[in-house]
Amino acid sequence: MLVSTKWLKDYVKIDGIPVNELAERITRSGIEVDGIIDRSHGMTNVVVGHVLECVKHPEADKLNICQVDVGEETTQIICGAANIAAGQKVIVARPGAVLPGNFKIKKAKLRGEESNGMICSLQELAIDGKLVPKAYAEGIYVLPEDAVVGSNALELMGLDDSVLEFDLTPNRSDALSMLGVAYEVAAILDQEIEQPTATYTASTKKAEDVLKLRVEAKEENPMYVAKVIENVKIQESPLWLQNRLMAAGIRPHNNVVDVTNYVLLEYGQPLHAFDYNRLETGEIVVRLANEGEKITTLDETERTLKANHLVITNGVEPVAVAGVMGGANSEVHDGTTTIVLESAYFTGASVRQTSKDLGLGSDASTRFEKGVDPNRVVPAIERAAALIAELAEGEVLEGSVMVDELDKTPVRITISPDYINSRLGMKISLEEMLSILHRLKVDVEAVNGQLVIDAPTRRQDIRIKEDVIEEIARMYGYDHIPMTLPVTESKPGGLTPYQQQRRTVKAFLEGAGLYETLTYSLTSEKSSQKYALETAPVTKLLMPISEERSVLRQSILPHLLEATTYNVARRNDSVALYEVSSVFLDEESDGLPKEVAHVAAVVTGKWVDHAWQGETKKVDFFVMKGIIEGLMEKLGLTTGVTFEKATLDGMHPGRTANIFVGDKRVGFVGQLHPTVQNERDLKETYVFEMNLDQILAVQLEKLIYTPVPRFPAISRDIALVVASETSAHTLEKVIRRAGGKLLTSVKLFDLYEGDNVEEGKKSIAFSLTYQDPARTLTDEEVVKAHDKVLAALTSEAGALLRG
């Protein structure tokens, strides 16, 4: 909503208050003023001129040489506008003037002819081209004949004005009208309101004699008022009216249409004017449209209607989409002599539905959607009738044609001052509350210490007690509310164990060198299940913005890889990223997909980068595995975590493992398949993705300390030659089983394949530690246990002992 302060002065006294102060006070008490537009843009030296003579420039087809009386003198100005003509009153920027955009006007010579200033279009005065009346949209603006030569043209055009830009919240539709704004400003400034007048002399002819009205859809249209005005002269509106419309962002058309728009802005009540003769039937019937029924609206677009759309018809065919836009077939035009003026109450839900279905909004539909004041339907049409009588010399027929089943009783709210104060934490007196409500022009009485309020129908947002509390608080001033803290039963807050563990995971991974990322949950259908740990039906959007973001992901890795490629492409060769986020599995439970927290990571490039001491290492499988093992240990999963070689889509078949906790697969780790690396422009890249919820759900035993051993441990190393495919894990299992209770630790410390080892075999060495917490072990005991291990390795794993 654009509020001209010049116009606002018609209703409320704001002279003497600087506009920025006014804006601030409005903002602080409830309606955000987003900006202040100075319509003068600092322009000076712009005056009314009279074109005395206008001849073609001898040297240029498109230029005219004009002799213009600017009051002080008659001067020559060259003008290129096609619509310039002798006899016109025009807007002249004199030499020395500065127009918007720091456009300085100087004396100049154009093709040898002197030009002392410029004849202006409205666009040159910073009026949006969309608002300039069509007749002047392509050329200079022509002023009315009675414009006084030499006078200030900015004043004449109403540009000595500041416009407040309101950013209205949906509840404050009352401020979609100048009167509504006036009520608000009057409450802030504690002032009275000057109401608009509507006086005219009605003709003796009665409206009901020429127009019949029938409303068939009273639920959607509980009130419809129509007046008939004869002998109107369609012409340009007076300048003051055009100026106000342009200031409010509406393009002037002709006096009748302009008046309907003006009253819409003034009262917030949309009006519409039909050409009576074009209606043809002398009848108005409001009904729901027939499914598929067509109408061409004022914007010359054919619209196909649905059965729940409300239409105004002439009894035969639609002549307007109710509350949204008029039909082209009944439009007021230059030759119109009789009009039917409509003021109605269409319900918000009905207009919203129609507007949404047709993809068509208007100043009218915006207001109906939010709910107009039932008590302004009649005053608005009377005001419009009076203006049309005055400006179009029309004869208003007596009375109105009306259907009225609209409930206009105000909402009654009874509330005690104590309740208000208890909710605010304040001590505002009853008198103060009454004074605030009086300033808001709210009907209120104090009955037995209670406030009994009849909420004004113009304020659709005042319905319940809390609305009254808000009105009192905002007018009293939020600055006056004290600062306290809630007094509640004290209960400890804090993170749940799950939330705490999730923080531990992040801290560990960051400590290990990975950076946290956040990527989008929405992805393309194609990549939604890539690298997923388990797949389920995909959750799809009904109306995605793009295919790229059309479904919810079931794995994090695809987006994490995207981020990796992005970074590598920008010469960050070494990238280490992780993310903890939910994935979505559409396994119907209670109508929502299952959301599972995953943790995923990508590492590529150098892992150790300490070149000057000769320590530079690329990332490899065991870096990622080490991170996972470390994380599991941090989470208390010291045993039961195993890795098994796996073949997975998109992964290197020889360098990928499934990760198990107990017998549950919780994720995988490995190198990307080289073809995937190539597709994504990556070098050797390692990844993992795990189901974090599953890992964190493992029940841990309580931590109890084990006494530090007091007796020495004894170490024995074994070197073995085994078949290449025998896994370290298999050997370790054999060793541990055979070693029994005394064997406390098994550590792999050497691995070799190549020269001196038979083809198809590898040399592998373990360091074994034997210990008894209760005593010192004897040599014999250790030898006995160790021999068992060696025997088991030979027989169960086909190992050959070396050295």
Partner 1 sequence: MEERLNALKEEVLAKIKEASNSKALNDVRVAYLGRKGPITDLLKGMGKLPAEERPKMGALVNVIRESVTEVLEERMAKLEEEAINAQLEKESIDVTLPGRPVQTGNHHPLTRVVEEIEDFFISMGYAVSEGPEVEKDYYNFEALNLPKGHPARDMQDSFYITEDVLLRTHTSPVQARTMEAKKGQPIQIICPGKVYRRDSDDATHSHQFTQIEGLVVGENIRMSDLKGTLSLFAKKMFGEEREIRLRPSFFPFTEPSVEMDISCFKCGGDGCNVCKKTGWIEILGAGMVHPNVLEMAGYDSTVMSGFAFGMGPERIAMLKYGIEDIRHFYTNDVRFITQFHEANA
Window 41-60: residues binding partner 1 (CB under 8 A): none
> Contact between 496 and partner 1 (CB under 8 A)?
yes
308 is an interface residue for partner 1 by CB under 8 A: no
Q: Which stretch binds partner 1 (CB under 8 A): 259-267, 345-353, 528-536, 665-673?
A: 345-353
Least distance from partner 1 to the Cβ atom of residue 472, Å:
9
Q: Which span (2-10, 54-62, 535-543, 650-658) binds partner 1, by CB under 8 A?
A: 535-543
Segment near partner 1 (CB under 8 A), from 100-108, 313-321, 431-439, 611-619?
611-619
CA-based nearest residue to 42, from 92, 120, 95, 101: 101
The correct pick among 112, 494, 614, 760 for binding partner 1 (CB under 8 A) is 494
Residue with the two structure tokens 């994380």: 631
The pair of structure tokens assigned to 798 is 């086909």
The piece of 139-147, 482-490, 685-693, 793-801 that touches partner 1 (CB under 8 A) is: 482-490
Residues 539-598 close enough to bind partner 1 by CB under 8 A: 539-545, 549, 552, 563, 566-567, 570, 572, 575-578, 581-582, 584, 591-593, 595
CA 516 to chain centroid: 27
Applying CB under 8 A, does 435 fall inside the site for partner 1? no
Q: Both tokens of residue 606?
A: 């150098």
Q: How far is the CB of 637 from partner 1 (least distance, A)?
A: 22
Backbone region of residue 783 per phi and psi (left: phi > 0; alpha: psi in -120 to 50; beta: other values): alpha
415 with 454: CB under 8 angstroms?
Answer: no
Query: Is 47 or 288 the residue whose CB approaches partner 1 more closely?
Result: 288
Q: Does 510 bind partner 1 (CB under 8 A)?
A: yes
Q: Is the dihedral of CA 284, 288, 293, 295 positive or negative?
A: positive
The single-letter code of the amino acid at 796 is E
Indicate which single residue of 61, 146, 407, 489 sits in contact with partner 1 (rule: CB under 8 A). 489
List 485, 703, 708, 774, residue binding partner 1 (CB under 8 A) = 485
Specify the pairing of strand 522-523 against strand 450-454: unpaired
What does the alpha-carbon distance between residue 594 and residue 586 come to, in Å, rounded to a whole number?
A: 6
User: Which residue among 290, 414, 499, 778 contacts partner 1 (CB under 8 A)?
Assistant: 499
Q: Count the residues of the shown chain that bind partner 1, applying the rule CB under 8 A.
A: 93
Amino acid occupying residue 568: V
The footprint of partner 1 on residues 10-39 (CB under 8 A) is 27-32
Span from 37-45, 86-94, 393-401, 461-469 in contact with partner 1 (CB under 8 A): 461-469
770 within 8 A of 716, measured Cβ to Cβ = yes
Residues 88-117 that bind partner 1 (CB under 8 A): none
Nearest approach, Cβ of residue 685 and partner 1 (Å): 15
Whichever of 467 and 772 has its CB closer to partner 1, that residue is 467
Is 420:472 a contact under the CB 8 Å cutoff? yes
Which conformational region is residue 626 in: left (phi greater than 0), alpha (psi within -120 to 50 degrees), or beta? alpha
If residue 562 lies in a helix (H) or strand (E), which one and from where to where? helix 557-569
Closest approach of partner 1 to the CB of residue 419, in Å: 9
From the list 254, 519, 528, 555, which residue makes contact with partner 1 (rule: CB under 8 A)?
519
The CB-side HSE value for 559 (13 A sphere, CA atoms) comes to 26
Question: Are the C-beta atoms of 319 and 312 separated by less than 8 Å?
Answer: yes
Instruction: Give the Cβ contact number of residue 735 at 10 Å.
Output: 23
Instruction: Report CA 590 to chain centroid distance, whole Å.
Output: 29
CA dihedral 720, 722, 727, 733 (to 10 degrees): -50
Q: Label the pairing between strands 310-313 and 113-116.
A: unpaired
- Range 735-764, binding partner 1 (CB under 8 A): none
CB-based contacts of 562: which residues, under 8 Å, 6+ apart?
Answer: 519
Residues 348-407 touching partner 1, rule: CB under 8 A, are: 348-349, 352, 369-370
449 dihedral zone (left: phi>0; alpha: psi -120 to 50; beta): left
Q: How far is the CB of 158 from partner 1 (least distance, A)?
A: 28
Please identify, using beta-carbon distances, which residue of 160 and 595 lies nearer to partner 1. Answer: 595
Nearer to partner 1, 201 or 488 (CB): 488
C-beta neighbour count of 241 within 10 angstroms: 18
- Torsion angle defined by CA atoms of residues 734, 736, 740 and 744, in that order, rounded to the nearest 10 degrees: 160
**Which CB atom, from 443 or from 516, has the smaller least distance to partner 1?**
516
**Measured from the CB of residue 423, what is the shortest distance to partner 1 in angstroms?**
6
- The residue among 570 and 710 lying less far from partner 1, judged by its C-beta, is 570
Question: Would you say 218 or 480 has its CB closer to partner 1?
Answer: 480
Q: How far is the CB of 580 from partner 1 (least distance, A)?
A: 9
Q: By C-beta, is 28 or 212 nearer to partner 1?
A: 28
Which of 49-57, 397-405, 605-613, 639-647 is the region at the interface with partner 1 (rule: CB under 8 A)?
605-613
**Which of residues 518 and 783 has its CB atom nearest to partner 1 in the complex?**
518
Q: What backbone torsions phi and psi does residue 189 show, to the nearest 5 degrees? A: -95, 0
Min dist. Cβ of residue 565 to partner 1 (A): 11
The residues that bridge with 383 in the sheet, in sequence order, are none
Question: Can residue 450 be called a binding residue for partner 1 (CB under 8 A)?
Answer: no
Contact window for partner 1 (CB under 8 A) among 291-299, 402-410, 429-437, 496-504: 496-504
Residue with tokens 């196909």: 304
Segment 228 to 257, residues that bind partner 1, using CB under 8 A: none
The closest alpha carbon to 183, from 31, 38, 39, belongs to 31
- State which residue, 35 or 709, has the beta carbon closest to partner 1: 35
The CA distance from 127 to 160, in Å, is 13
Nearer to partner 1 among residue 212 and residue 680 (C-beta): 680
Contacts of partner 1 in 147-206 (CB under 8 A) = 169-172
Rounded Cα distance between 525 and 522, Å, is 9
Q: Closest separation between CB of residue 248 and partner 1, Å?
A: 22
